[in-house]
Amino acid sequence: MSITLDHTPFAPLDLARRPVVTRTTYASAAAAPSAPMRLTGRGRVAIVAVALAIITTLVIVFGSAVVATGSASDPGTVTTVTVQPGQTLWSIAAEARPNADIRATVDEIIKLNALEDGAPLPIGSTLAVPVQD
């Protein structure tokens, strides 16, 4: 028995190694179910503080409807009238300004004397009354 070996040359094998590439797949954050957002005690305090600051700012900026000035308004020319029995604000206004609107004159008398609307006039009291312009 004899063994014969064939020594025919084989084509050289290219055994150049390529780097091994591995792929890692990460689950995206959107795909993972998220826990519901919870508000802590500190967060509640912060939200209330911001809301109060906003409301306070709005009240300070837009809340003051009355603006005080250093000068008093000029009431015009006034005279004093002593109330006699039977006189009303309407009759006093008609005597003081016969050609003006009596309603406007009555309103001015009420404002000048700080009278209550509809209250009876005390007899003998002195009223400031605007006179003819």
Q: Domain containing 86 — which CATH number?
A: 3.10.350.10
How many structural domains compose the chain?
1
pTM: 0.44
d(CA 76, CA 16): 111
What spatial distance separates the first Cα and last Cα of the chain, rounded to whole Å? 153
The answer to whether position 117 is within a domain reads: yes
The pLDDT tens digits along the chain (133 residues) read 667 666 667 666 666 666 666 777 666 655 566 778 888 999 999 999 999 999 999 888 877 655 555 555 555 788 899 999 988 889 998 998 888 898 988 888 888 888 887 778 888 989 999 886 6
CB-count burial class (<10 Å; 0-12, 13-18, 19+) for 59: exposed
Residue 86 counted as domain residue: yes
Whether residue 98 lies inside any domain: the answer is yes
